Amino acid sequence: MRHKAVLAALAALIIGPLVWSGLAQTPKPATRSLSLADCIRKALEGNLDLAIEALNPEMDSASAAEAREKFLPEFGLSSNYLDQDIPSSWGVEGPTIKTKMDYYQLGVTQRTPLGTELGLSLFTRKTDTSRAYTTVNPAYFSEFRLNLRQPLLRDFGFRANRYESIKARRQLDMSEAALKSTLLQTIYGVEEAYWNLYYARESLRVLEMSLAQSRETLKRNEEAARIGTKSAVEVLSAETEVAGYEDRVLSARLQVEKTENRLKSLLNMPVAGAAAGVAAVSGEDLVSIIPADEPQAAKHAVTYEEALATALAERPELARTDAMMANAATDIGYFRNQLLPRLDLNFSLWSPGQSGIKYIFQDNNPLTGIIIDTIYGSRGQSFRDVWKMAYNNLSLNVTLALPLSNFVSRAGLARARLAQDQARLQLDKERQTIEIEVMEAVKDLEASATKIETSARYRGLMEKRVQAETQRYDLGLVGSEWLFTYQRNLAQAKADEIRAVIDYKIALAALDKAMGTTIRTKSLKFKGYEF
């Protein structure tokens, strides 16, 4: 035993200074006092889960805008130039035929939510050829044309043609509901971590006070043992008590660090340990958070029926599932429409115009080759014929198509119906989950309120008991082990009283989350969203 004591002393002499020098080189982080409102604000600004989730509504909003763009008009402009020299197949035309042509077209097409496809076009063409016996050369030809196609069965109506737009809008609603869920969970996580950090620090403070008290008792026992009024057993008991408190203080400090890191991760702040290097690189200070708010246990009376009615009206999960059901109903309507035959009405109206250099042959016979007169025209004259509707042309037809898939494949409709059934079951499940969650939140709140009263009464009684036992100890009626037991019970009672208040604050935050009212009750704003 003596050899072991000597080795332990040597180890303390050698290792102790090294450990102490290592601790001295580690700078203690500065403290930063933050209120709960400050923490929530920092979470809304920097939480990574929120930042990731917030991108989904923006992407879905872009998808909804893209789906609406198909109803915007489409303009087209084309130009073509041809210079052609080909051998002649008719001897009187000469050995080759040279042709030059330029072509310009301007058009616009428009699709309407009824399925109507409307097209307007205006084009002009100039042709100059060496072909013999041509009566107009160069020739100018222009035309204005109106085309219309109207589906009468398949692809007819607002629902069929706005299908992608409706789906995209509903997807946007679902992503906003998911963002609200993430917001509620994040804010609750911040509140829970904040109050747990407060409790961890208060528990550490209580243990440190108890440690100081036990050390003071140890000093008194050592002095009493020196003068012979206390035994060595009393000193050993006090030393054991000090060692036990030192062990609990170390565990409490570790718990403070873990709880603080949990809160910092929600706020996207550098945490202790490996993240210290990241903080140095990013230029942020590694700080220790001190909760500035005191947990005031203001009673909040709410019945289960009131809380459940609010939750059914506010919870984003129900809004998301409602959108899923509406999407399934839209799918059913669309796929039913796609099973109809294709019956289209096609209408065309066009007005041509022609001009150019016209040759008048003898006896109006180009084969004579004798030109007796020349009439000069221009491209503008061909356009005048177009605008005057000098030549009216009209086309109207109806086409019917019966795709084989209409009679064989109904997979899309079947899938949509199954999705609707699934969404209906999902809605029932969500309501059941919310009912249980609200019920548990209300019960936890009521139990926490009762716990505050009982823990405070128990702590008061334990303080009186410790005072009484201290007096008995001072009179020598009881040993230190008996007194230490009551002191430990008092320290635990103080911690339990703080825990009861913290549990009430967390239970109140959980009830707000269960009802979906956290954002409104705290008057929070997030990137312009109205939740």
The type of residue at 66 is: E
Confidence band for 16, pLDDT divided at 50, 70 and 90:
very low
Helix axes 163-227, 36-46, angle to 10 degrees: 140
Greater confidence, 480 or 46? 46
pLDDT at 360 over 70: yes
pLDDT on residue 530: 81
Name the burial class of residue 51, with classes exposed (0-12), middle (13-18) and buried (19+) by CB atoms within 10 angstroms of its CB.
Answer: exposed
Helix axes 480-515, 232-267, angle to 10 degrees: 10
d(CA 152, CA 115): 9
The mean per-residue pLDDT over the stretch 228-235 comes to 82
Residues near 83 by Cβ (< 8 Å), separated by ≥ 6?
99, 100
Kindly report, residue by residue over 168-192, the tens digit of the pLDDT. 999 999 999 999 999 999 999 999 9
d(CA 340, CA 338): 5
Sequence-ordered strand ranges (E) for 362-427: 371-375, 393-401
Kindly report, residue by residue over 413-462, the tens digit of the pLDDT. 889 999 999 999 999 999 999 999 999 999 999 999 999 999 999 999 98
Confidence band for 23, pLDDT divided at 50, 70 and 90:
very low
pLDDT on residue 283: 46
Q: Is 202 a member of any domain?
A: yes
Phi and psi at residue 406, in whole multiples of 5°? -60, -30
CATH number of the domain enclosing 496: 1.20.1600.10
d(CA 431, CA 268): 33
Residues near 92 by Cβ (< 8 Å), separated by ≥ 6?
132, 133
In 3D space, the residue among 502, 4, 491, 513 whose CA is nearest the CA of residue 210 turns out to be 491
Helix axes 480-515, 163-227, angle to 10 degrees: 170
Domain count, the chain: 1
Q: Is 157 a member of any domain?
A: no
Kindly report, residue by residue over 463-483, the tens digit of the pLDDT. 998 888 888 877 777 777 777
The mean per-residue pLDDT over the stretch 245-256 comes to 93
Q: Is 482 a member of any domain?
A: yes
Q: Is 151 a member of any domain?
A: no
Instruction: Tell me the pairing of strands 30-34 and 287-291.
Output: parallel
Q: Is 377 a member of any domain?
A: no
Residues near 372 by Cβ (< 8 Å), separated by ≥ 6?
360, 361, 362
Q: Is 491 a member of any domain?
A: yes
Structure tokens at 152: 């009468």
d(CA 268, CA 282): 12
Name the burial class of residue 73, with classes exposed (0-12), middle (13-18) and buried (19+) by CB atoms within 10 angstroms of its CB.
Answer: exposed
Q: Is 113 a member of any domain?
A: no
Domain that residue 438 falls in: 29-63+165-329+415-521
Name the range with the highest mean pLDDT among 66-70, 232-236, 298-302, 468-472.
66-70
Q: Is 95 a member of any domain?
A: no
Confidence band for 8, pLDDT divided at 50, 70 and 90:
very low
d(CA 202, CA 489): 16
Kindly report, residue by residue over 391-410, the tens digit of the pLDDT. 889 999 999 988 776 665 68
Phi and psi at residue 159, in whole multiples of 5°? -65, -40
